[in-house]
Amino acid sequence: MTDAAPVISCRNVWKLFGADPHGYLASAGRGQSFEEIRKAGYIAAVRDVSIEVGRGEMLVIMGLSGSGKSTLVRCMSRLIDITGGEVIVDGQDVMALNERELIELRRRKMGMVFQSFGLLPHRTVLDNVAFPLEMRGQDRHDRRERAMEVIKLVGLEGREEYFPRELSGGQQQRVGIARSLAIEPDIWFLDEPFSALDPLIRREMQDEFLRLRGMLGKTIVFITHDFDEALRLADRIAIMKDGAVEQCDTPDRIVLKPATEYVAKFTEDVEKSRVVHAKVLAQPINGHPVDGPAVAADATVLQLARQLVNESREMLPVADKSGRLIGAMNRQEALDILLGSV
């Protein structure tokens, strides 16, 4: 998160399904557990969620099936109406928007990619990617020119005249990503976009996604049920259970300090040395001299393994990309993580 105002802000958001969700929430629902709400005849798909997404941040929302992650994202984009709370997107209360304003917000600011590719089978790759621009009323030349730009961006140049049936699953997903990027959205929602792909293609798509993210600097909300995928992609991870957020933090901190037993179950098989970075272990220097060369703040403990084993210094200075010291890392603490003692 940055210090700037968040792009998306959810404040005490609820989404109940049932006969009279607004009435029930107002009378009794707010103070009840998931099971108590269920016994009353309602499903609490989202329970009292407060979360923010900063500009340029990638928030990964994860949890098992039925945890509420997809429903929460649909609340953010108002694909469904919330039962209680507020959703603010770029300073606008999305629940206060009329239909025309909501459509305009989605067209101008939001891109969405879902697990099902949703490609139009009778249209070529080029026409599929240009479709949202056509719906916007953009002229044919301009929309095809823009479509070709994003087709090149996702690595499908030369296949623009193919039909979806002539593409692999990974290539079809690239078309879906290109189509969502064609409108140049500020906010990008992705709901398990790689889950239907086999492991090798999935890894390839993650690499491609990281490349695109580095180039485009979008604000991204990404849903997955795969913790390894979340660790690889996220700035922060929100882990959901029974409609509520159990913990929202950086991958390093979730792995080092899981807030609940439920979160701890996700982290128990993770090789922490691959996830934890030197900057997270850095402690304030407080004026005490720290000798010798610094380690990179963005280096993982695993990347520093050889140096940690061969070092004799107790405290290692940690520097950011500009060379500025941000603190000092305790060598023994890092070794404990490397050797599995933490």
45 in Cβ contact with 69 (< 8 Å): no
DSSP assignment of 135-198: HHT--HHHHHHHHHHHHHHTT-TT-TT--GGGS-HHHHHHHHHHHHHTT--SEEEEESTTTTS-
- For 83-94, b where at least 16 C-beta lie within 10 A, e where not — what string? bbbebbbbeeeb
- Three-class SS state of 339: coil
Rounded Cα distance between 247 and 231, Å, is: 14
Cα–Cα distance for residue pair 32/72, rounded to 1 Å: 19
Burial of 43 from C-beta contacts in 10 A (0-12 / 13-18 / 19+): middle
pLDDT in tens, the chain (342 residues): 445 689 999 999 999 999 999 999 998 768 889 999 999 999 999 999 999 999 999 999 999 889 999 999 999 999 999 999 999 999 999 999 999 999 889 888 888 887 666 789 999 999 999 998 888 888 999 999 999 998 988 889 999 999 999 998 888 888 988 888 888 888 999 888 887 777 877 788 788 888 878 888 889 999 998 898 999 999 999 999 999 999 999 999 999 999 999 999 989 889 999 999 999 999 998 766 778 899 999 999 999 999 999 988 999 999 999 999 999 999 999 999 998 865
Alpha-helix residue ranges (DSSP H) falling in the chain = 21-27, 34-39, 69-76, 99-109, 125-136, 140-153, 169-181, 199-216, 227-233, 251-256, 261-267, 278-281, 305-310, 331-338
Domains of the chain, first to last: 55-82+96-270 (3.40.50.300), 273-338 (3.10.580.10)
Q: Burial letters for 288-310: b for 16+ Cβ neighbours within 10 Å, e otherwise? A: eebeeebbbbeebbebbeeebee
> To which residue do tokens 């792909």 refer?
197
Taking the model in full, what pTM does it have? Answer: 0.86
- What one-character DSSP code corresponds to residue 33? -
